């Protein structure tokens, strides 16, 4: 393992010593990416977790705009295990933890009511990835997921490259994966953003103004499994084709908002060609002036408004109450393996899974 960042001084005020340990026999460390614009991203190879993203506000004041931790000890005891991690082998939910692939049934660990969520309790978010920091802008992380891990078939080789753009404040996530047996793959970064900056308590994101480039979304039942329909957002609180604050409609008497305890839904992105990198969403905090743009090659993006956060503790004494974060998780649709009419998440030997997602800050 190589870490090109030897100087512990950083805008995030994080210490390498607080991350340098071993978990299940593999070394964990802290990595700092910087660019020529002054932006900084701190990452650990435990779960590919983003610990901080330091970007300026309208007055050029830098603050951390993700709900992060300041030590590996805090990460391991956090009640929200997916905080800013990469999740897989399958992001989002699979109904009852079961699916059939090529005529063979598979059973996964159930860890979210009756369903499997985000690859299970020992998914990619709990794994120590091999890491190589190539330069101040780039960190490459790799992981070998064994055949049968959390119930998924095939040995899966996964690579994620974080690249901090030197010309603009954009963080690029490039994923690729290959398998030796037919399997399913759906990876995402579960970033918990608050563009106002984290604090004690971290303020609500309900004043954040959101747009999503999607005419349709995937409705869910009371346990957050797709109903099987693909519904129009028109004339509903799900419509973010034009800018709306989160607070404007999140508490409306609307069955989908009740089922998700707020927004926790996959949006079907408007695409001309599958796999093209397009603008998926924008999010702005009116007080700080920070604006985030989300681009992805994926067909869907899950909007989640931190409904189940419950005052957990974070970096440097920050606390994270309910709805103190907003997530834009680029991904396939939920429960795709059980929905043959959804775009497939299947990966076969000889094929390569790829994804490019960008979080750009202005």
Considering the candidates 40, 149, 298, 329, report the single residue annotated as catalytic.
329
Question: Which residue(s) pair with 357 in the sheet?
Answer: 173, 296
Q: Give me the torsion for CA of 14, 16, 20, 26, rounded to 10°.
A: 90
Are the beta carbons of 220 and 229 closer than 8 angstroms? no
Residue with tokens 């099987």: 228
Q: Is 248 a catalytic residue?
A: no
Q: Is 206 a catalytic residue?
A: no
C-alpha span between 343 and 341 (Å, rounded)? 7
Neighbouring C-alpha atoms within 13 Å toward the C-beta of 169: 17
Task: Return the structure tokens found at 81.
Answer: 């295990």
C-alpha span between 257 and 114 (Å, rounded)? 20
Considering the candidates 69, 190, 208, 356, report the single residue annotated as catalytic.
190
DSSP state of 233: -
Are the beta carbons of 16 and 6 closer than 8 angstroms? no
Question: Which residue(s) pair with 99 in the sheet?
Answer: 106
Helix (H), strand (E) counts: the chain: 2, 30
Give catalytic residue positions. 190, 329
């Amino acid at each position: 393992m190589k870490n090109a960042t030897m100087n512990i001084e950083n805008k995030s005020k994080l210490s390498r010593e607080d991350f340098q340990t071993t978990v299940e026999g593999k070394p964990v460390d802290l990595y700092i990416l910087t660019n020529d614009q002054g932006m900084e991203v701190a990452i650990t190879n435990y779960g590919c977790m983003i610990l901080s993203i330091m970007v300026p506000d309208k007055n050029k004041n830098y603050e951390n705009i993700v709900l992060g931790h300041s030590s590996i000890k805090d990460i391991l005891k956090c009640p929200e295990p997916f905080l800013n991690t990469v999740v897989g082998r399958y992001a989002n939910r699979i109904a009852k933890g079961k699916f059939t692939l090529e005529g063979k049934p598979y059973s996964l660990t159930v860890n979210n009511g009756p369903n499997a969520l985000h690859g299970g309790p020992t998914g990619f978010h709990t794994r120590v990835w091999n890491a190589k920091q190539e330069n101040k802008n780039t960190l490459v992380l790799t992981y070998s997921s064994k055949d049968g891990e959390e119930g998924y078939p095939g040995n899966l080789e996964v690579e994620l490259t974080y690249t901090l753009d030197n010309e603009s404040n954009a963080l690029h996530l490039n994923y690729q994966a290959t398998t030796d047996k037919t399997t399913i793959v759906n990876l995402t970064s579960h970033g918990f953003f608050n563009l106002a900056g984290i604090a004690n308590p971290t303020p609500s994101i309900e004043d954040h103004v959101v747009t999503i480039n999607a005419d349709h979304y995937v409705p869910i039942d009371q346990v957050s499994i797709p109903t099987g329909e693909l519904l129009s957002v028109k004339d509903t609180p799900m419509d973010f084709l034009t800018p709306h604050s989160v607070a404007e409609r999140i508490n409306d008497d609307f069955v989908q908002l009740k089922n998700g305890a707020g927004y926790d839904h996959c949006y079907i992105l408007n695409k001309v060609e599958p796999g093209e990198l397009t603008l998926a969403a924008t999010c702005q905090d009116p007080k700080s002036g920070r604006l985030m743009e989300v681009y992805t090659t994926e067909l869907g993006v899950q909007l989640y408004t931190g409904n189940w956060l419950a005052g957990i503790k974070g970096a440097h004494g920050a606390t994270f109450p309910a709805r103190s974060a907003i997530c834009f998780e680029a991904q396939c649709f939920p429960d795709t393996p059980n929905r043959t009419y959804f775009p497939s998440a299947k990966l076969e030997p000889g094929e390569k899974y790829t994804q490019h997602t960008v979080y750009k800050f202005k």
